[in-house]
Amino acid sequence: MSSFEEPKTDFFRRPVPAERRVSGWEVALVVYGIGITLPIFFLGSELGETLGLRDAAIAFFGGCLLLGILASATAIVGARTGLSSYMIIEFSFGRDGAKIVNFLMAIALLGYFGATADIFGQAVRDAVQSVYG
């Protein structure tokens, strides 16, 4: 049986068995890919223009350091327990609190997607206008 034909088992409510876990590098590549999308480039240019190179670099490094600390702590918890992010949030905030936190995360992700789509759409519009007038 190929890996494509393996039965799919979801581990939403229980830990993922060690033999079914993926490497940290696979997860890191996905997170890295998300982090270098268009809004980050747009934010960088806006911060650089507004704050200047020195202050923008300080803001970026400070923000990245804080995010790195939080992401590392979250990754350690996930790797040690094998639980999904939803279960970790439910354990931390309770059943009702997890619903609120996950709702807020969903809104943030929808906003992030919307910002990416908007910036990409503007870039495509400008490119088409420059080619076809």
The DSSP symbol for 3 reads: T
- Tokens 């949030």 belong to residue: 89
The rounded distance, in Å, linking the Cα atoms of 42 and 27 is: 25
Task: Give this prediction's pTM.
Answer: 0.54
The rounded distance, in Å, linking the Cα atoms of 99 and 75 is: 21
> Are residues 99 and 86 in contact, defined by beta-carbon separation less than 8 angstroms?
no
pLDDT tens digit string along 14-60?
A: 777 777 777 777 777 777 776 667 677 777 788 888 888 899 889 88
User: Residue 100: pLDDT band by 50, 70, 90 thresholds?
Assistant: very high
